[in-house]
Structures are given as C-alpha cells and as structure tokens.
Amino acid sequence: MSRHPVALITGGTRGIGLGIARCLAQEGYALALNGVRLPEAVDDVLQELRETGATAEYFQADISQQDERARLVQAVRERFGRLNVLVNNAGVAPQVRADILEASEESFERLIRINLQAPYFLTQAVARWMIEQKQADANFPACIVFITSISATVASPNRGDYCISKAGLSMAAQLWAVRLAEFGIPVYEVRPGIIRTDMTAPVQERYDRLIAEGLTLQPRWGTPEDVGKAVAMLVRGDLPYSTGAVILVDGGLTVARL
C-alpha cells in the first residue's frame, strides 16, 4: 500500500504519457503506468522514473477490452490500495491517413473503441472507486484528467476518425465533470496541439514547415513535458474552482486570426 498519492496514467510509458509521468513523479505521486507493450519493453522507463525516487509500476492491459479494464483497476487497487488521479492519455492515430471520401469503417471503429469508448468506461470504473474513497473520507483528494487534442475542434479531413474520437472524448470530459461534481471530484480536459512524439514523427517535416510559416503563435513544437506541467497544475489543485475546464497546450495554434 502506498502512502503517496497515486496516479494511473494510461499510455504512460512513452510520448505525452511519459511526459505526464515525469511531472507527476516530481509532485510526489506513485505512478501506475498502463500500456499494451510487454513489461520488458518498458524496463528502461521504469528505471528512469525510479531513479528520481518515485514509485513506478507497470500494468499491461488493453483498455479497449472490457475485461482488461476491470483487471487493470483491480490490479492497481491490490498494489496501491488507493487511487487519487486518473489521466486518460492513451490513444492511437489512424493506421492510414485517408480522405473521408475513401476512409474505412474498420479504421473508424478501431479509433472510436480505443480513443473514446476505452477511456469513457475506464473512467466509469475509476469514478465508482473514487466515490467509494470519498465516502470513506470526505477529504480524500481525487481528480480525473482527459488528454484530448486540438483535433477535437480543428477539422482534418484526412483523419476524420481521429477528429471524431477526440471530439467525443472532449464531451466525455464534460459529462464526467457534471456527474462527479456532487462528489467533489473535479474533471478537466487538456487539449494538446502539435507535440513532438513518436506519433507525430512521420509528419515531422510537414509540421516543421507549417510552424516555420506561422501555424503556431509560439514558433516551436510542443513537448510531452509541456502537457505534463499542465496536468501537474491541475492535479495539484491550482485551479480549484474550474471543473470542466479545457486547458489548451497548443502554442496559440487555435487562436483565431485575420
């Protein structure tokens, strides 16, 4: 059982999820990191985090599957005995960027299942546990953060399935903020822009050019730590009267301009 506050981060061993994990480790959180890779593939990540003094454990589970979501929550409960923070970060890009005139239903179904259905129902399971903890101790600190994307509102017709999954996830964050308010559990959405990760590596040259041409007000790529710092602010309680808020981490990309 952990005496430290505990954070479950899906997709927490690389990319944005790892940036979040690093920042929450600095905040004193014990880390429950979820992913689909084999445990031996994340040994170096766990070692890095543990060298900072953090408790970090890996829980392999495909959260797009109902039974594996349940197994994940139970495993975290058995290992730590508590859960203060859920960060819904895991997500995938389309395997093929396809014009919406040609895109397949198989790709659409895959992205909705992984990017939207999985975090929606993982939140349901975690929220029930958090309510239980709150009822046992009214001062138990708990919150939930959804990592979405500027694609929730910025239309990309060559990856409509991704945009729709993120738009739905944005509404999921609003729904859970409404439902959990009575229990004192704030829910937030963090909406990253162009972040340098393995997911964006295939389109690096394109975005290098667009950023140079002024796509973002701040002329650089975002980093996973940029997102991690926003999540740390939220779980620390720095915005205590802002449940349901959307935090943009996009370098000003979505600011309307003439």
Tens-place pLDDT, residues 5-20: 999 999 999 999 999 9
Q: Choose among 175, 169, 93: nearest CA to 127.
A: 175
Q: Which two tokens stand for residue 238?
A: 């720095």
Over residues 150-175, the mean pLDDT reads 98
Rg (C-alpha) for the chain, rounded Å, is 18
Which residues are the active-site residues?
Answer: 162
Mean residue pLDDT of the chain comes to 97
The answer to whether residue 1 scores a pLDDT higher than 80 is no
Instruction: Report pLDDT digits (tens) over 98-145.
Output: 999 999 999 999 999 999 999 999 999 999 999 999 999 999 999 999
CA distance 231 to 186: 13
Share of the chain above pLDDT 70, in %: 99
Query: Phi and psi at residue 156, in whole multiples of 5°?
Result: -125, 100
The residue-averaged pLDDT of 182-210 equals 94
CB 164 within 8 A of CB 143: no
Q: Structural domains in the chain?
A: 6-249 (3.40.50.720)
Q: How much is the pLDDT for 200?
A: 86
How much is the average pLDDT of 25-52?
98
